[in-house]
Amino acid sequence: MSTKARSTVPGKPLGRKELRAIDAWWRAANYLCVGQIYLMDNPLLRVPLEPHHVKPRLLGHWGTTPGLTFIHAHLNRAIMARDLDLFTVTGPGHGGPAALATSWLDGTYTQTYPEVSRDVDGMHRLFKQFSFPGGVPSHVAPETPGSIHEGGELGYSLAHAYGATFDNPDLLVAAVVGDGEAESGPLAASWHSTKFVDPRRDGAVLPILHLNGYKIASPTVLARIPEEELLSLLRGYGHTPYVVAGDDPDAMHQAFAATLDHCLDEIREIQAEARASGRRPAERRAWPMIVLRSPKGWTGPEKVDGQQVEGSWRSHQVPFSNARDDDDHRKVLEEWLRSYRPEELFGDDGAPVAQIADLHPLGTRRMGANPHTNGGLLTRPLSLPDFREYAVPVPRPGSGQVEATRVLGGFLRDVMARNPETFRMMSPDEHNSNRLQDVLEVTDRTWNATTLPGDDHLATDGRVMETLSEHMCQGWLEGYLLTGRHGLFSCYEAFVHIVDSMFNQHAKWLKTSNAIEWRRPIPSLNYLLTSHVWRQDHNGFSHQDPGFIDHVVNKKADVIRVYLPPDANTLLSVADHCLRSRQYVNVIVAGKQPALQYLSMDQALVHAAKGIGIWEWAGTEPEQGAEPDVVIGCAGDVPTMEALAAVDILRREFDDLRIRFVNVVDLMRLQHEQEHPHGLSDADFDALFTTDRPVVFAYHGYPWLVHRLTHNRTNHRNFHVRGYVEEGTTTTPFDMTVLNGIDRFHLAIAVIDKVPQLRSRAGAVRERLLDKLVEHRNHVHTHGEDMAEVREWEFPYPGDPDGATGTSAG
Amino acid sequence: MSTKARSTVPGKPLGRKELRAIDAWWRAANYLCVGQIYLMDNPLLRVPLEPHHVKPRLLGHWGTTPGLTFIHAHLNRAIMARDLDLFTVTGPGHGGPAALATSWLDGTYTQTYPEVSRDVDGMHRLFKQFSFPGGVPSHVAPETPGSIHEGGELGYSLAHAYGATFDNPDLLVAAVVGDGEAESGPLAASWHSTKFVDPRRDGAVLPILHLNGYKIASPTVLARIPEEELLSLLRGYGHTPYVVAGDDPDAMHQAFAATLDHCLDEIREIQAEARASGRRPAERRAWPMIVLRSPKGWTGPEKVDGQQVEGSWRSHQVPFSNARDDDDHRKVLEEWLRSYRPEELFGDDGAPVAQIADLHPLGTRRMGANPHTNGGLLTRPLSLPDFREYAVPVPRPGSGQVEATRVLGGFLRDVMARNPETFRMMSPDEHNSNRLQDVLEVTDRTWNATTLPGDDHLATDGRVMETLSEHMCQGWLEGYLLTGRHGLFSCYEAFVHIVDSMFNQHAKWLKTSNAIEWRRPIPSLNYLLTSHVWRQDHNGFSHQDPGFIDHVVNKKADVIRVYLPPDANTLLSVADHCLRSRQYVNVIVAGKQPALQYLSMDQALVHAAKGIGIWEWAGTEPEQGAEPDVVIGCAGDVPTMEALAAVDILRREFDDLRIRFVNVVDLMRLQHEQEHPHGLSDADFDALFTTDRPVVFAYHGYPWLVHRLTHNRTNHRNFHVRGYVEEGTTTTPFDMTVLNGIDRFHLAIAVIDKVPQLRSRAGAVRERLLDKLVEHRNHVHTHGEDMAEVREWEFPYPGDPDGATGTSAG
């Protein structure tokens, strides 16, 4: 580390007065950060520091913080000088103090939380609340004004930053990437976002790779490879890197200011060039970025107890932790705080002095007040075509062969066409595989790298974003949604587990935001999970996993919704509903393979709205008021087909059996109304599933999820649930259901076994069904395809001869 | 694309005869690949191709396959020439046909599966079984000889390859990285594995980045950036890249052979230099790698139906799919197959002709027979110290303040010391944070990049692997385990969700392997999840997530185990058990904060072995044969403490209340014996939890998991489970339990509400407990720490005055 400063870009753009002012602002911000971490009283050190002024539990991270405040100081200068629409994404996990200090200094914090006033009292509150029970977390969080990025789990800062800039041509996002975070997979991949930016229509990301050298205890990889190797890496990602390295404040201020100016000029030039021509840029240009090397815990105590602290991993969290009880440590703390010369920075009233009080942009140009960071403020509803116009005709329930997601694709094409600036679709290279190709009639795949003849629908301004990284798809979409726009992520069901953890963080963001009055609701995160567990004949065991639903329902009921539309018309209705919704994570699971259709659009609309209902045409309901002998329940397209086929078998064999058929679209209807807003009351649930009759339930995913959702229902102990139990691999579609015991024959046998009046008299039927299973296995292993009778089966009971196939909820 | 070949390394090392032989081998392999994808009969085209010779369902991926066979041809040559211990990791997802063709050609397939003989019959079987019901998947899988890497979910090939080479100094792993896979986050990060290799003690990975340009439908990023940018990127990762690009087979053979020779020389030189000195290498050297640019679907039909196929995304899967029913397509297929001139390659008996029959290494040098790829063959049991010697004294149950994971660290230190070549620990920079630092007394953190004064325990030959990427930790460890060694992954509980999907794939690998006789059991994958949900006072809501357990228990019962040891001695016993086990995923959740201890080592040993048991000293058990009034159950360290504290309250208030206290270590004991091998019988379960008494259960994670595990138990409807319900953020430890209703006061109130004889007479006690909760909240918000009475609480009932604190299972 140079003791002065080293930089790629020469020049000293700051006049003496400006330099002094920026440094004073920086010192003020650093003072406020140390105060937040350590103090619960005596914020301005008006009296000597006493033990009770220090927090009993010291939490927070000092190490990254002074670098962040340094960057903020210079970004403020640039915003003012250039009237920039700019906000920051803070990648380094626990950089919370810096964001809080900045927004307190520029007034946005007080505007958001009036009780944290810009005076001694407010400073007192600012300090005490930090990492304090009932206060604010130590990382940037939804509570932090100006943030769209939680600093908890690392790796998503760049993807979030890019997502924010898409379709925001005037927006600049300064993405501070921590060198710890930079080791993570999602971050390492996100650098390639450079191939998905349109300099004409999108804003720009300025990555600032902040190398302070250490993680919790180890050095970081990027800080410890030769600089030439690092620069080679960053050039390989499509950037022009500029280095600012050193520890002398004044020299570093000049170097960083010169570098930032240079980068902003270069961004403006790239954009101006692209926008002047209006055409696709002749070649992708390398975007500028900054590598900032500064000491970990910069300006903190150099040594404590004889051990190096500044510039060492010992600065990562709280540099010394006995400041309440140890007089020596408390003395170090007081000297450290006084080293910023607070008496020069804050007036008698505790407010920043004139020199720095106005050293920030005005109004919504302040980073803490940038409206993009409270995206709900900017959200416009999607212009949606009438989804009913995309209905497929259903002449008879249980007929036809329709790819549900292909039908959805037609609807999404027109959603895309009508919302050319506020709707994007993401997919890890599965858009067409998922049968959504109609969307490419009105847009292309986003692609800013080289194209060749024969390429299919690539364009710099394409709005279908495909890259083989679920992390980037999710991260981009989150950034896009958090800044108030709309989108849909289509993904293979099994591999969406790749973003389990990102879903967690987003769901937590939504839950927390719901309790923050000033945060406006943002469009929902919509997942379309297709290529689902039952149709992996192509891929086999490694591609079978319906557990994302289980993962999702662990999160707070107010933010999650799960839909399993059984056919195309229901899917359309569900998708329309999800695209209109706010502040949820909607999971839609739907097949892409040709499948039977059940409901006309009118029926689908009612069924989707109710979320659960009796299909009277399918069952053999008893007269009004009487109970059926058995309830057959189902959720999911393949389970619905098998359940109907089981009913068919049972109706043929036992003409006096009274069967009720219940289909579930909205999975959370199964849960209790006290546990989920969509949950049914006990009375409604009992009206559907009875209080004492056997229920044979065919469920799309792991069967125990249905038990978990219904465990406190009156009739729960009569629920017999079939679902995916990790069986089957590369095989035929029907064989998959057989291997997991969810096929028509197994379901019919389950009914025979559970209905008392059948058990005694159905022995022969049971045997015939078992024979069918043997016949099936032999056929499949010989011919490699399913028997015609299951492959071409349609539901043979049209119910009402007029075609009115009633659906009613209980 | 050049129509010939372009390469960084000059030279034509292949003589004419060798060139012809290698090309013939390659043609044979390609013929076998096309046959697998398309044919179910007439394997050698002895008669003209008829519709019924073609499979009814065409599955598999042709696009990547010829590149893989090309690489295999040359790797075989190198192995023979240099007697290399080398195997391949096939990153491109569906490259299955290539691995199968190679191992059939070299005899390993027939040796493994004798029915797939090296003759016409065997070729027939080889073709028919591929992607056929009851056959083998289209990607490399556990069934594939010579594989440690499933080609299902993409992104882990490099990490697996590195994991295999650690501590295998003579091993070379050729890791073929697909350009689709290369876009994924985990793969993008894995390139940095170069900083964690010891050229003295580890083997080497030779990455071969295979650019064939397309994913399913889109081009790939790395294939479409200027070559200088790509090379800059790869140099930035720490490699010296060599390019081989073109499509002319002969020229490409020469170029690839020369390049491979050069790379292998360079690897040998780096290793020789490092090993000669024996000291830490003066500087990290760049490792060679190959960039292979070849057309997608190389040697396949150039055009079909007038559309470009070779070199296009149309080659990705099956280039044309009507070969059974469409005469023109079938003609294309026949011409394509005949273009390899099978009559020159296979004799009348169907076996490979002499020219290529022996063009492979011998015995275990064959890639399909490399013993590292069936790691259980090489596994030696760990030398384990007696874990009982690390016991902490427990003078009285419910006393002391011990960091359980720090105690474990002492044991692990000696495990590490005793197994210096077969045990590694991985952590995303949390090793010390997780209190395992004692291990660093006997080894260091693996680190091959620059070091600076003040760095803590870094060394090239360190065996604690830390990088801020859960993906790399998991991938490395999987590669290490799959090649027969042992390890442990310590991770923050919330963030282990980052590898949910990798866990899925590994668990699926284990389940599939269990059914493959020739695969030998490998050491278990051991997770130590600490920094758990109840002690995120430092970090708050974003760091709270106990759902990994829920995720894990969705997988097959034979491969998953979950342990929640309540204290240090139990943790030691559990850890010892897990390190001895094979073929499982073991999840251990244990706190790292100072906590009460309950069991002496003798008791812990018994309790851990039983996995569940009554703590008689804690409850007020009735006389033999009588039932208690209430059962208080618990699982997890913090829930155990709160449950005991609740018992304390209840004992003081109601001296006639008969309380049974049940602690669960092995979570799967709760499940039914028919569902999990560790599950209790109904009789045993009822003996513990009764058939009709209220059970108040304090569980570590999401409470519904306990309902799901116990839903079919007699007494389930009396189970009242408390756990984490997504409440709380940055706050005190006790406040976290209060916010989620799992604290002593809420638990005691739950008992009052559920036990009929208390409900009527305990109103005043209930009020006092509610007052306590209010008092707690006020205290915490004012003082920022918990009330002394909960912070310093110990269990005050020593039970047996002799200190014998009986533990018995039901």
CB contact under 8 A, B137 and A540: yes
Into how many domains does chain A fold?
3
Q: Which chain A residues contact residue B447 at CB under 8 A?
A: 218-219
Q: Which two tokens stand for residue A138?
A: 């130590």
Identify which of A363, A358, A357, A371 has the alpha carbon closest to the alpha carbon of residue A146: A371
The chain A residue lying nearest B451, using CA atoms, is: A224
Quick one: B624 and B547 in the same domain? no
The letter for the amino acid at A278 is G
Q: Which chain A residues contact residue B468 at CB under 8 A?
A: 154, 180-181, 183-184, 215, 220
Give me the mean pLDDT over the B268-286 stretch. 87
Give me the mean pLDDT over the A32-61 stretch. 94
Last residue of a domain, one of B541, B562, B594: B594
Percent of chain B with pLDDT over 90: 86
**Positive or negative, the Cα torsion across A701, A705, A710, A715?**
positive
Chain B: give the shortest CA distance to residue A84, in Å: 31
In a domain, B381, yes or no: no
Mutate to test the interface with A, among B144, B231, B296, B500 (most CBs of A within 10 A): B500
Quick one: B556 and B664 in the same domain? no
Chain B: give the shortest CA distance to residue A421, in Å: 23
Q: Which chain A residues contact residue B455 at CB under 8 A?
A: 219
Angle ∠(A674,A559,B532) on CA atoms, nearest 5: 90
**pLDDT band, very low/low/confident/very high, at A752 (cuts 50, 70, 90):** very high
**pLDDT band, very low/low/confident/very high, at A315 (cuts 50, 70, 90):** confident
On the question of pLDDT at B808 being above 70, the answer is no
CB contact under 8 A, B236 and A238: no
Phi-psi sector, A10: left (phi>0), alpha (psi -120 to 50), beta: beta
Beta-bridge partner residues of A426: A465, A489
DSSP code, position A583: S
Chain A: give the shortest CA distance to residue B123, in Å: 17
Report the DSSP pairing between strands A560-563 and B560-563. Answer: unpaired
**pLDDT band, very low/low/confident/very high, at A321 (cuts 50, 70, 90):** confident
Q: Residue A622: its pLDDT value, please?
A: 81
Q: Which chain B residues contact residue A427 at CB under 8 A?
A: none
Q: Which chain A residues contact residue B732 at CB under 8 A?
A: 57, 133
Identify which of A143, A202, A214 has the alpha carbon closest to the alpha carbon of residue A173: A202
Q: What is the dihedral of CA B168, B173, B179, B181, to 10 degrees?
A: -50
Q: Residue A1: its pLDDT value, please?
A: 43
Quick one: A579 and A636 in the same domain? no
Q: Residue A621: its pLDDT value, please?
A: 84
Q: Residue A151: its pLDDT value, please?
A: 85
Q: Which chain B residues contact residue A141 at CB under 8 A?
A: 540-542
CB-closest option in A133, A138, A541 to B781? A133
- b (16+ CB within 10 A) / e for A554-586: bbbbebbbbbbbbbbbbbbbbbbbbbeeebbbb
Instruction: List pLDDT tens digits, range B416-441.
Output: 999 999 999 999 988 888 899 999 99
Quick one: B341 and B400 in the same domain? no
On the question of pLDDT at A802 being above 80, the answer is no
Kindly report the average pLDDT of chain A as a whole number. Answer: 94
Quick one: B558 and B645 in the same domain? no
Instruction: List pLDDT tens digits, range A273-295.
Output: 999 987 776 789 999 999 999 99
Q: How far apart are CA A79 and CA A429, in angstroms?
A: 38
Range of A450-454, A782-786, B74-78 with top mean pLDDT: B74-78
The chain A residue lying nearest B196, using CA atoms, is: A221
The chain A residue lying nearest B783, using CA atoms, is: A56
Q: Is A103 in contact with A145 (CB distance < 8 Å)?
A: yes
Q: Which chain A residues contact residue B784 at CB under 8 A?
A: 40, 55-57, 128, 132-133
Quick one: A360 and A431 in the same domain? no
CB contact under 8 A, B538 and A131: yes
Q: How many CB atoms lie within 10 A of CB A51?
A: 12
CB contact under 8 A, A131 and B308: no
Q: How far apart are CA A673 and CA A612, in angstroms?
A: 14
Question: Quick one: which H or E segment has residue B33?
Answer: helix B16-38
Chain B: give the shortest CA distance to residue A565, in Å: 23
Instruction: List pLDDT tens digits, range B604-624.
Output: 999 999 999 999 999 998 888
CB contact under 8 A, A540 and B472: no
In a domain, A609, yes or no: no
Instruction: List pLDDT tens digits, range B705-737.
Output: 999 999 999 999 999 999 999 998 889 999 999
Instruction: Give me the CATH number covering residue B558.
Output: 3.40.50.970
Q: Which chain A residues contact residue B282 at CB under 8 A?
A: none
Cα Rg of chain A (Å, integer): 31
On the question of pLDDT at B807 being above 50, the answer is no
Quick one: A86 and A210 in the same domain? yes
CB contact under 8 A, A551 and B551: yes
**pLDDT band, very low/low/confident/very high, at A788 (cuts 50, 70, 90):** very high
On the question of pLDDT at B126 being above 90, the answer is yes
The chain A residue lying nearest B229, using CA atoms, is: A236
Chain A: give the shortest CA distance to residue B82, in Å: 32
Q: How far apart are CA B642 and CA B750, in angstroms?
A: 13
Identify which of B201, B173, B634, B645 has the alpha carbon closest to the alpha carbon of residue B367: B173
Q: How far apart are CA A790 and CA A473, in angstroms?
A: 38
B414 Cβ contact partners less than 8 Å away, ≥ 6 residues apart:
B385, B442
Instruction: List pLDDT tens digits, range A398-413.
Output: 999 999 999 999 999 9
Beta-bridge partner residues of B490: B528
- Inter-CA distances, B405 with A191, B183, B438, B637, Å: 37, 37, 10, 12
CB contact under 8 A, B468 and A154: yes
On the question of pLDDT at B19 being above 60, the answer is yes
Domain that holds residue B734: 614-803
The chain A residue lying nearest B498, using CA atoms, is: A501
Q: How far apart are CA A723 and CA A725, in angstroms?
A: 6
CB contact under 8 A, A225 and B238: yes
Quick one: B689 and B647 in the same domain? yes
Quick one: B115 and B256 in the same domain? yes
The letter for the amino acid at B662 is V
Q: Residue B573: its pLDDT value, please?
A: 98
Q: How far apart are CA B243 and CA B221, in angstroms?
A: 17
Quick one: B408 and B363 in the same domain? no
More reliable by pLDDT, B314 or A555: A555
Q: Which chain B residues contact residue A495 at CB under 8 A?
A: 153, 501
For tokens 């020049």, the residue is A11
DSSP string, A124-170: HHHHHHBTSTTSB-SS--TTSTT-S--SSS-S-HHHHHHHHHTT-TT
**pLDDT band, very low/low/confident/very high, at B375 (cuts 50, 70, 90):** very high
Mutate to test the interface with B, among A55, A61, A184, A285 (most CBs of B within 10 A): A184
What is the SS3 assignment for B314-343? HHCCCCCCCCCCCHHHHHHHHHHHHHCCHH
In a domain, B321, yes or no: yes
Instruction: List pLDDT tens digits, range B468-505.
Output: 999 999 999 999 999 999 999 999 999 999 999 999 99
**pLDDT band, very low/low/confident/very high, at B799 (cuts 50, 70, 90):** low
In a domain, A380, yes or no: no
The chain A residue lying nearest B465, using CA atoms, is: A218
Beta strands in B636-774 (DSSP E): 659-664, 695-699, 719-722
Last residue of a domain, one of B325, B345, B370: B370
Beta-bridge partner residues of A527: A489, A587
Q: Which two tokens stand for residue B448?
A: 């091959």
DSSP code, position B657: -
B381 Cβ contact partners less than 8 Å away, ≥ 6 residues apart:
B580
Distance of CA B431 to the CA centre of its chain: 19
In a domain, B783, yes or no: yes
Q: How far apart are CA A632 and CA A697, in angstroms?
A: 6
Q: Residue B215: its pLDDT value, please?
A: 85
In a domain, A379, yes or no: no
Chain A: give the shortest CA distance to residue B329, in Å: 21
Instruction: List pLDDT tens digits, range B55-92.
Output: 988 888 899 999 999 999 999 999 999 999 999 999 98
Chain A: give the shortest CA distance to residue B451, in Å: 7
ipTM of the complex: 0.96
Cα Rg of chain B (Å, integer): 31
Quick one: B150 and B51 in the same domain? yes
Question: Quick one: which H or E segment has residue A412?
Answer: helix A404-418
Beta-bridge partner residues of A245: A6, A293
- Inter-CA distances, A740 with A725, A771, B59, B436, B743, Å: 6, 17, 22, 43, 41
Q: Which chain B residues contact residue A136 at CB under 8 A?
A: 730
Beta-bridge partner residues of B464: B425, B445
CB contact under 8 A, A500 and B504: no
For tokens 């591609």, the residue is A543
CB-closest option in A230, A450, A543 to B152? A543
Q: Which chain A residues contact residue B711 at CB under 8 A?
A: 704, 707-708, 711, 716
Give me the mean pLDDT over the A114-118 stretch. 96
Instruction: Give me the CATH number covering residue A748.
Output: 3.40.50.920
In a domain, A601, yes or no: no
A415 Cβ contact partners less than 8 Å away, ≥ 6 residues apart:
A382, A384, A385, A423, A579
Q: Which chain B residues contact residue A557 at CB under 8 A?
A: none
**pLDDT band, very low/low/confident/very high, at B803 (cuts 50, 70, 90):** very low
In a domain, A600, yes or no: no
Q: Which two tokens stand for residue B717?
A: 């409807």
Question: Quick one: which H or E segment has residue B241?
Answer: strand B239-246
On the question of pLDDT at B802 being above 80, the answer is no
**Positive or negative, the Cα torsion across B167, B168, B170, B174?**
negative
Q: A279 — phi, psi (to 5°)?
A: -90, 170
CB contact under 8 A, B429 and A784: no
Kindly report the average pLDDT of chain B as a whole number. Answer: 94
Percent of chain B with pLDDT over 70: 98
Chain A: give the shortest CA distance to residue B649, in Å: 26
For tokens 């357990």, the residue is B549
CB contact under 8 A, B707 and A702: no
CB-closest option in A233, A429, A551 to B547? A551
CB contact under 8 A, A233 and B230: no
Mutate to test the interface with A, among B554, B668, B709 (most CBs of A within 10 A): B554
Identify which of B548, B544, B596 has the alpha carbon closest to the alpha carbon of residue B570: B596
Last residue of a domain, one of B325, B340, B370: B370
Q: How far apart are CA B91 and CA B180, in angstroms?
A: 9
On the question of pLDDT at B763 being above 60, the answer is yes
On the question of pLDDT at B809 being above 50, the answer is no
Q: Which chain A residues contact residue B186 at CB under 8 A?
A: 185
Q: Which chain A residues contact residue B465 at CB under 8 A?
A: none
CB-closest option in B308, B495, B730 to A138? B730
What is the number of CB-based contacts under 8 A between chain A and chain B?
A: 374
**pLDDT band, very low/low/confident/very high, at B317 (cuts 50, 70, 90):** confident
B7 Cβ contact partners less than 8 Å away, ≥ 6 residues apart:
B242, B243, B244, B245, B246, B255, B256, B258, B259
Instruction: List pLDDT tens digits, range A507-562.
Output: 999 999 999 999 999 999 999 999 899 998 778 899 999 999 999 999 999 999 99
Quick one: A250 and A169 in the same domain? yes
CB-closest option in B40, B312, B542 to A505? B542
